[in-house]
Structure 1
Amino acid sequence: MRKVLMVLTSHQDMENTDSKTGVWLGEFTEPYYEFIDNGFAVVLASPVGGEPPVDPMSKLAEHITASNRRFHDDPDAQRLFSNTLTLDTLTAVNFDALFYPGGHGPLWDLARNATSGQLILDFMAAGKPVGAVCHGPAALIKAAALQPGLLRGKRVTAFTNMEETLSARTGNIPYNLESALKELGADFHAALVPFTKHVETDGMLVTGQNPLSAGPTARAVIQLLGAKGELGVVDPLP
């Protein structure tokens, strides 16, 4: 059975505000069910393990998606989400693909996490797909620090500077992800209209721009993986 490792942020605090962040729920649920419904096993992990924080804004009525509702009614998925494994217990050899959902949290922890950065390098070196959506591509920053030049000339996308401005959170984050990726030499592309779906694939690296791109990003990873796996979920709990 083919297995996908999904890495979620453990960070919830923003700057200059009492508002919280974390995983953008739909950016987890959309890819999660894309993988499950296409027969892939999914393992969830995070830097500190346990239940990741969820961005409260992603639970508001205007952001609720069909996959969010499905997750709400899925006790098995909820149990896995509440008990993510710690990153330092996992290696690339046991998985076929790596995926990073967004939410603003990765700007802090995954962008600086050496274990995550090395996982990305190990997957890419093994010719295994790495997917990331919205702020998930922040994890590429640490990978690029460990392997300078990694992103030079790579076609990527992520939550744009314009989308940050329109979301009114630029004063609460440490940097704009689009600018950070460009500084690392990435060939950054985005949809002409903010908050519309956009996916870039460069070799085995797949990146999605924003929440609407979460499902399409996962489907692009699945396309790279080729044949469907056997239906099922890897449950790391006893």
Structure 2
Amino acid sequence: MSKRILVVLSEFGYWGEELVGPVDALDAQGYRITFATPTGKRARALPPSLDADYIDPPLGRSVTTRDMARRARELDESSRLDNPLSLQDLIPERPYYSSLNHLRELEDYHRRLASGVGDLIAGFDALVIVGGSGPIVDLANNERLHEVVLAFAAADKPILAECYGVAVLAFARDLETRASLLWGKHVTGHPKEYDYKDGTGFIGVNFNMGPPPYPLEYILRDATGPDGAFHGNVGKETSVIVDFPYLTARSTPDSVPAGELLVQVLENGLRRYGW
């Protein structure tokens, strides 16, 4: 039976190549891909990611080839991204501790949560969180997505996160222990050197955040602890780390090898790569 992959996209903009890379590798294997967004709104690519002439400020060069810009635009404009699943519909919202009937509401929450994540775990073999600046807004601290990540990790199913999507792994925590899922793990992600000083942008809002609101590298260094590590691999063309069940990709050019490595994890049992 063909494997099924759940791909989560931000509604505030994903980076084109960071979707194309995994999708191409998964399509080549004949895997079935289902897309999801936080509220079921159709995702769109960040305009700079479709422009081969756009100069990435930290790197001082274009990071998108003309061929990749074309492929990303074709995928972004295709019907494949229409009608994504809604995490809001699938996963309940944890009640506030200050709610009047908190105990009963929390019991109901756990009943509905078990059903929602149980269906996802039964239906999918892997989870992919696509990067770009959009995830900063609606994925990084999305408690519904955190519950999905926790469930995939508990089921020992692979989770690929790219760029600022890696923040989801750092923030997805069991609220009983508050311990990081990445403690003792090796990961990569957007390093400090790759962060914009100005111009971090999003789709759907007329707002220039300036630099990112948090340096992902610092968060990942803290989250992995003394027995794990963050690997920025600055100065190397690509950076992808596999420390099962997590696969982490640093930025745009890492999306193609990340997709290929996810296939290796699913087909050949790869559990460690990149350090």
| TM range, smaller chain | 0.7 to 0.9
Report the AA paired with residue 83 of structure 1: N
Correspondence list, 1:20-31, <5 A: 22-31=13-22
Q: Does 1:34 align with 2:46?
A: no
Report the AA paired with residue 245 of structure 2: M
Please name the residue that 1:80 is paired with: 80
Please name the residue that 1:49 is paired with: 40
Change (3 A) 1:126 1:159: same
SS at match of 1:226: helix
- The answer to whether the 8 A contact 1:100-1:131 is kept is yes
Q: Does 1:144 align with 2:173?
A: yes
Please name the residue that 1:61 is paired with: 52
Correspondence list, 1:72-151, <5 A: 72-73=73-74, 78-88=78-88, 89=90, 91-144=120-173, 146=175, 147-151=178-182
1:40-86 superposed Cα distances (whole Å, 9 cap, x missing partner): 110000102121132111111232453542354469x8212132211
SS at match of 2:238: coil
- Displacement of 1:165 after TM fit? 4.4
Q: Does 1:181 align with 2:220?
A: yes
SS at match of 1:51: coil
Please name the residue that 1:206 is paired with: 247
- Displacement of 1:149 after TM fit? 2.9
Work out the CA distance in 2 between the residues paired with 1:41 and 1:171: 38
How many percent identity over aligned positions?
A: 30
Find the structure with the greater CA-based Rg: 2
Structure 1 segments unaligned to the other structure (5+ residues): 12-21, 228-238
SS at match of 1:30: helix
Cα RMSD after superposing both structures: 2.3
- Stretch moving more, 85-94 or 34-43: 85-94
- The answer to whether the 8 A contact 1:110-1:142 is kept is no
Change (3 A) 1:74 1:177: closer
Report the AA paired with residue 188 of structure 1: F
- Displacement of 1:171 after TM fit? 2.9
Superposition TM-score, scaled by structure 1 size: 0.81
SS at match of 2:210: helix
Change (3 A) 1:126 1:181: same
Change (3 A) 1:71 1:175: closer
- The answer to whether the 8 A contact 2:193-2:234 is kept is no
Change (3 A) 1:154 1:64: same
- The answer to whether the 8 A contact 1:58-1:64 is kept is no
Please name the residue that 1:193 is paired with: 235
Work out the CA distance in 1 between the residues paired with 2:155 and 2:199: 39
SS at match of 1:144: coil
How many residues end up aligned between the 2 structures?
215
Change (3 A) 1:167 1:222: farther
- The answer to whether the 8 A contact 2:187-2:230 is kept is yes
SS at match of 1:32: helix
Among 261, 268, 273, the residue aligned to 1:220 = 261
Report the AA paired with residue 7 of structure 2: M
Structure 2 segments unaligned to the other structure (5+ residues): 54-63, 91-115, 201-208, 269-275
- The answer to whether the 8 A contact 1:112-1:141 is kept is no
Work out the CA distance in 1 between the residues paired with 2:49 and 2:11: 16
Superposition TM-score, scaled by structure 2 size: 0.71
Please name the residue that 2:102 is paired with: none
